[in-house]
Amino acid sequence: VTGTGAPPARTGPRFGRALAAGPRVCFGAGTVLRLPELLASRRARNVLLVCGEAAYEACGIRRLVGERLGGLRVERLGGFSANPKLADVERGVELARRERTDTVLAIGGGTAMDLGKSIAVLADEQGDAASLVERSRPLTGRRRRGLVLVPTTAGTGSEVTRFAVVYVDGMKRSLDHPCLAADDAVVDPELTFSMSPRLTAVTGMDALSQGIESYWCIRSTAESRRRASRAVRLALANLEAACSRPTPRVRREMSLAALLAGQAIDVTRTTAAHAVSYPLTGCYGIPHGHACALTLPRFFVFNAGVSAADVQDPRGAGFVRARMAELASLVGAATPQAACARLEALLGRLGLETRLSELGLNGEDRERVIALGFNPDRVGNNPRRLTPQHLRGILDSVR
Ligand SMILES: [Fe+2]
């Protein structure tokens, strides 16, 4: 992570071997102004800009493109709604192929960045995008187009991960391949200044969930946990202030929290709270970070109750319990129950609903979520085996 003014540099060895092939990260206030230089160094001439209307207007991107990317041909893909949809990916792939773009530049939140990643990769694959997203065909993974990601929220960490979500008819699918890792991630906290308190809260809760889930994930390493714990500490210390009285320092800390949590889940992937979130988002439109945060506190208690009979981490139940105790103390709690209460209290203070009924979901909806909440990969990553009965209990506890 480089500061303002330093040249964009590949993140050094202190960021760990697992990340050596990840994007070159340029972090700091004002770094977005170095985009022209960065694109020039990549010999970009023909750019597909994936950027929704709100970010285009609110973050000064329109001016940036108009005044500073003048030498480039820029075609913009906008007009997409929240959460990446297959139809938008297909539209982007067609545009990228037709306009012969050499570089995909995605500026926005998780939706814009995930669309950008999928478009850059799928435009270089043969044939239709749908069969690759549905995994009826494997990716060849030969991306030739450049891929540059610029987050305007502090949440998803998508700028540094090698996977992208695509919703197909409300069902979550994902592409997961090293070719989805961007060439460059430009993380400029100033782009997050225009976020509303509510958007700050839901995206910040995504970063916090990702940090916590990565920490307890069965695939954690000492290095991923180091990043995850920094992310959790930063998010807990700054999220409330980022919503109620944001300062440049607080915004910067949240951008760093999101980046670190993204780097942590790039190694581990996410777990049960994310798995359950996808139907809450895909079927009920609950924003991703909020959807994760609804069950996250309860999974704290559930995972701490792991035993030899239901542990999924090959390092054993004792290992998981020790990590859960570390996590509880990170959250400032002495017990998992206290950690759960603290996280729910935080949601309340952020003005986010903590009950499914407040979001219009009834018992039938909860059953639908159970039926759709079992992404085998994500639940398989959870340290404690989760059954439909367990999940029913957890959803009932937040009904
Ligand atoms: Fe997430």
Distance 232 CA to ligand 1 centre (A): 14
Q: What is the chain's pLDDT, residue by residue, as a tens digit (399 residues)?
A: 433 333 333 333 333 334 456 899 999 999 999 999 999 999 999 999 999 998 888 888 888 888 888 789 999 999 999 999 999 999 999 999 999 999 999 999 999 999 999 999 999 999 899 999 988 788 999 999 999 999 999 999 999 999 999 999 988 999 999 999 999 999 999 999 999 999 999 999 999 999 999 999 999 999 999 999 999 999 999 999 999 999 999 999 999 999 999 999 999 999 999 999 999 999 999 999 999 999 999 999 999 999 999 999 999 999 999 999 999 999 999 999 999 999 999 999 999 999 999 999 999 999 999 988 777 767 899 999 999 999 999 999 999
Distance 261 CA to ligand 1 centre (A): 9
110 and 156 Cβ atoms separated by less than 8 Å: yes
Task: Provide the sign of the torsion angle of the four alpha carbons 125, 127, 133, 137, taken in this order.
Answer: negative
Distance 9 CA to ligand 1 centre (A): 26
Dist. CA 108–CA 39, nearest whole Å:
17
Ligand 1 (ion): residues with CB under 5 Å are 206
Q: Using CA atoms in the order 269, 82, 78, 182, what is the torsion angle rounded to 10 degrees?
A: -10
Distance 41 CA to ligand 1 centre (A): 31
Distance 209 CA to ligand 1 centre (A): 7
234 and 260 Cβ atoms separated by less than 8 Å: yes
Distance 186 CA to ligand 1 centre (A): 19
Distance 241 CA to ligand 1 centre (A): 21
Distance 282 CA to ligand 1 centre (A): 13
Distance 156 CA to ligand 1 centre (A): 5
Distance 100 CA to ligand 1 centre (A): 31
Distance 252 CA to ligand 1 centre (A): 19
Task: Provide the sign of the torsion angle of the four alpha carbons 88, 89, 94, 95, taken in this order.
Answer: positive
Dist. CA 205–CA 291, nearest whole Å:
9
Distance 288 CA to ligand 1 centre (A): 7
Tokens of 283: 């079927």
Distance 274 CA to ligand 1 centre (A): 6
Q: Which residues, other chains included, contact 183 with Cβ-Cβ below 8 Å and sequence gap of 6+?
A: 23, 24, 42, 146, 147, 148
Q: Which residues, other chains included, contact 238 with Cβ-Cβ below 8 Å and sequence gap of 6+?
A: 250, 253, 254, 257
Distance 203 CA to ligand 1 centre (A): 8
Tokens of 304: 């701490």
Distance 330 CA to ligand 1 centre (A): 20
Tokens of 86: 């297959």
pLDDT at 66: 80
Distance 337 CA to ligand 1 centre (A): 23
Which three-class secondary structure string do you get for 127-186? CCHHHHHCCCCCCCCCCCCEEEEEECCCCCCHHHCCEEEEEECCEEEEEECHHHCCCEEE
380 and 317 Cβ atoms separated by less than 8 Å: no
Distance 298 CA to ligand 1 centre (A): 17
Distance 159 CA to ligand 1 centre (A): 12
